[in-house]
Structure 1
Amino acid sequence: MTTSTPETSALPVVLLVDGRPSTFVRNVLNQDDVHIVLLRFASAIKDLPQEYLDRTAHLPVFLAQDENLAEEAERYLKWIDTLEHVPTYFCNPQEPHQEVAQPFAESVGLPHLTRQQVTWVRHKTVMKDRFAELGLRCAAYRRVETLAEVALFAEEQGWPVVVKPMDSFACIGTYRIDGPDDLAEVPELAPERRWMAEEYIRGTEYQLCALVTGGKVVDAYLSLNPVPILDVLDGAINANITFAPGEELPLDVWSVCQDLVDGFGLDHGYFHAECFLMDDGTLCVGEAAARITGCEVLANHGLSRGFDIHRATLDTYLGRTPDLRYSEGRAVGDLLLPVKPGRVVSISTEEELLRLPGVLSVQLKLAVGDVATPLRASHASSGFMHVAGGTAAEVEQRMRNVLEHFTIETEPVES
């Protein structure tokens, strides 16, 4: 039997926003039935490691400034005249770039989110107002500028409260304040950013994900967070677990995702949302995003079902119907491994961790001798691993077993 290579001139060409080398982006770069043109913004170049820059050196790259988008768009339109393959599709998997990437795509005539949609999925107070318009329960909130205003909100709403930047992600700059005595431990709110205080929701946290084509959810996936994401900043287990097909789910994930997709007017792509089932059983929507989810949640869905979800996700941005033929039926989660500041003097090996029950893969980011300077963020880790089981509960049990065996020791580093 012979194989043939697709006619390259007939392949779709996508302008892909390249802000950090995520698993999704690395997977897209391996596809042989699409042409990739990279869009990089000057503010994010420092986040790209040299290894990744070398790997992508063969691809056409447009480096845009974050300001003067109209001028940058005009420069781009002249630049693509030099290309053999001109983009007609657009994909931005990067949350921090939504405000510049989507208007840029609009300026150069590519599919994009409208400015209203960007505001809905990026700015948390407007997002919550939209939830309320759609009849969905969400946390009460107030815009604030000082910690004194946070305290006033808490006196009216009740402690604890959460304070965060309106455009934050990965819990960066986010704090739970349990009472007035804890205010002294929270940094003063930077005046150059916009802040909000919101009601602290008690309940179980979940993540909703959906593949969307033509405004319709073609499939949806539910993940469990063993503890609320905000708690991982204090050292709690940091994991996301995709439920197995056939498991009894606590909510109708498909219906909730479709309601949100309709409410935000999304036509295609990857949709992600966070929600709580409150102690009284009420669904409370936390946040929503029109981009690929963080950490390894996307990979969890693919490993759980046994299909190439990265390929399927890219297809939704290329006007294709994704291939959803599944070959597995299990629960799979990603566990972020703990990290400590300082120089690593010892750390569990991949070989040791792979011997533990349910562990599918391990990727360590640190080795002995490396210096760790972890951010206060939900994605801070020394590495991650995928863990499988028959149910989400079994996966969580296996993850906790991993944490009992995993060790990392560091020593102080002289300044």
Structure 2
Amino acid sequence: MILVLVSPRQRGLDLSGVDDCVVITGGPVPSGASELVTVADYRTETLVAAGLELARRHRFERVVSFAEADVVAAAQLREALDLPGQRPVSALAYRDKALMRKHSLAAGLPGPAYRTVETAAEVREFVADQGLPAVLKPRSSSGSVGVRILRSTADLAELPDQLADHVVEQFVPGEVVHVDGLLVGGKPVFALPAAYTDLACLAHWEDSGSGSLLLTAEHPWHGPLTEELWRVVAALPAAEDLVLHAEFFVAEGQRPVLCEIASRLPGHPIPPMINRALGLDLRATWLRIAAGLPVDVTAIAGAAVRAGSVANFGLPPRHGRITSVPTDVPPWVHDLEVLAKPGDVWDRDRYEARKSGDFVVTWTVTADSEGELRQRIQESADLMEGKVGWQEIISVGGAR
């Protein structure tokens, strides 16, 4: 019997490849579940309590999770039930940005000065010592929620007095890239470096579309990023099987610097890009691995070596009401997912709560070369921008 944790963001999960799955979900109902428990408050404590209650009736052999929201809960349940898989000491190191920085620096990996902070006064002390710019972020957030880039004394003055569980660190210049990887039985299966487009994971702050494109094996960053991913994994507390999503800063002629790393599936729409590149379903593959079922790691590793030019892209929500969505695309655009419908509204509260992984439409693009791929990313973005219509929301009194 397998216990599967399904976060509210896991759309369309199919469990048919694994027998006898009991599911705790925060909203979506996956197909193929033997038993389903829905929790309204999808957080670590609630998930662990629900899992332990289910364990009174079921003999679980594995616990599977997919998202940032349930990695620690899954690890705590494995510990409590003495099951194989990632345990809390490892899960917390991949979840807590201060802990991951501590482990990586202790292993001699490059990284910025950092400090855990609880108050704005502590941030100002750090800046007085290390200078500006600096980056302030919650220790356990995801999707760029709560991230602040501090560039001036005015930015410091706007900080609230209390900042519970935050970390501040030196700003690292360079381009932000991501590397997605898979570790099975303690051995690397693949690492797929990718370059973000334009504003990367902060693009939604500017209402701008964003995505990323896989770097071919010939790209000068491919080798160093692959090596650095496995150095970081070796520096953090071990787990036999891991699906990984990491971000690094890269600058010409310098060694990559870890931004952060997570032991979970990458956020949408990166998985469709990986699926197309490797010819598999990453989520279904991870489900089998985490459930202790066999997968052909040799075939997966070979597909990663042969991966061609693939990119993903998406358009974020705006403050307003959607009036139209795309229905047709060129033949080199694939995996179109329309995640909103005409009439959907992002009022002020919903708009301000958006994350970097929130999109109204996503897709992938293929090409024969990186140059053509970049051209098609821009062409498809312009095309989709024209197909997604928005109407301003005008409240009582005329305010927008």
The TM-score bracket by the shorter chain reads 0.7 to 0.9
1:241 corresponds to 2:218: no
> 2:281 & 2:380 partners in 1: Cα distance?
26
Q: Deviations over 1:291-349 (max 9, x none)?
A: 1111222221221232333333233213324342639742222212132112223x352
> 2:14 & 2:130 partners in 1: Cα distance?
46
1:364 corresponds to 2:338: yes
What amino acid sits opposite 2:392 in the alignment?
E
> 1:169 & 1:71 partners in 2: Cα distance?
23
1:155 corresponds to 2:128: yes
The Cα of 1:188 is off from its aligned counterpart by 1.9
Select between 295-304 and 60-69 the one with higher mean Cα deviation: 60-69
> 1:87 & 1:232 partners in 2: Cα distance?
40
Q: Is the CA contact 1:38–1:60 (under 8 Å) kept in the aligned structure 2?
A: yes
1:335 partner SS: strand
1:257 corresponds to 2:229: yes
Q: TM-score, normalized by length of structure 2?
A: 0.84
> 2:252 & 2:96 partners in 1: Cα distance?
27
Q: Is the CA contact 2:133–2:149 (under 8 Å) kept in the aligned structure 1?
A: yes
Equivalent residue, structure 1, for 2:108 = 135
Q: Is the CA contact 2:207–2:318 (under 8 Å) kept in the aligned structure 1?
A: no
Equivalent residue, structure 1, for 2:197 = 226
Equivalent residue, structure 1, for 2:285 = 312
Equivalent residue, structure 2, for 1:379 = 357
Equivalent residue, structure 2, for 1:36 = 21
Equivalent residue, structure 1, for 2:34 = 59
Q: Is the CA contact 1:121–1:289 (under 8 Å) kept in the aligned structure 2?
A: yes
Q: Deviations over 1:129-184 (max 9, x none)?
A: 10101211122212222334323322332222111111111100111122112345
CA change 1:73–1:340 in 2 (3 A) is: closer
> 1:214 & 1:279 partners in 2: Cα distance?
34
> 1:160 & 1:350 partners in 2: Cα distance?
43
Select between 58-67 and 117-126 the one with higher mean Cα deviation: 58-67
Q: Deviations over 1:378-397 (max 9, x none)?
A: 11322211112234443333
Q: Which runs of 5+ in 2 are unaligned?
A: none
Between the two proteins, what is the percent identity of the paired residues? 20
Q: Deviations over 1:226-266 (max 9, x none)?
A: 23423542344411222345555443344333323322212
The Cα of 1:73 is off from its aligned counterpart by 5.5
Match of 1:350 among 327, 334, 337: 327
What amino acid sits opposite 1:182 in the alignment?
D
Match of 2:78 among 105, 111, 119: 105
What amino acid sits opposite 2:244 in the alignment?
F
Q: Is the CA contact 1:207–1:222 (under 8 Å) kept in the aligned structure 2?
A: yes
> 1:306 & 1:57 partners in 2: Cα distance?
23
Select between 109-118 and 204-213 the one with higher mean Cα deviation: 109-118
Within-5 A mapping of 1:170-319: 170-184=143-157, 186=158, 188=160, 191=163, 193-227=164-198, 228-244=200-216, 247=219, 249-264=221-236, 265-319=238-292
Match of 2:8 among 17, 20, 29: 20
RMSD: 2.8
What amino acid sits opposite 1:150 in the alignment?
V
CA change 1:370–1:134 in 2 (3 A) is: same
What amino acid sits opposite 2:333 in the alignment?
V
Equivalent residue, structure 1, for 2:315 = 337
CA change 1:381–1:308 in 2 (3 A) is: closer
What amino acid sits opposite 2:391 in the alignment?
T
Q: Is the CA contact 1:217–1:254 (under 8 Å) kept in the aligned structure 2?
A: no
> 1:142 & 1:165 partners in 2: Cα distance?
12
Q: Is the CA contact 1:277–1:284 (under 8 Å) kept in the aligned structure 2?
A: yes
> 1:126 & 1:58 partners in 2: Cα distance?
35
CA change 1:339–1:308 in 2 (3 A) is: closer
Q: Is the CA contact 1:15–1:91 (under 8 Å) kept in the aligned structure 2?
A: yes
Q: Which runs of 5+ in 1 are unaligned?
A: 1-12, 81-85
What amino acid sits opposite 1:215 in the alignment?
G
1:404 corresponds to 2:392: no
Q: Which runs of 4+ in 1 moved over 6 A?
A: 68-71
CA change 1:278–1:147 in 2 (3 A) is: farther
What amino acid sits opposite 1:272 in the alignment?
H
1:230 partner SS: helix
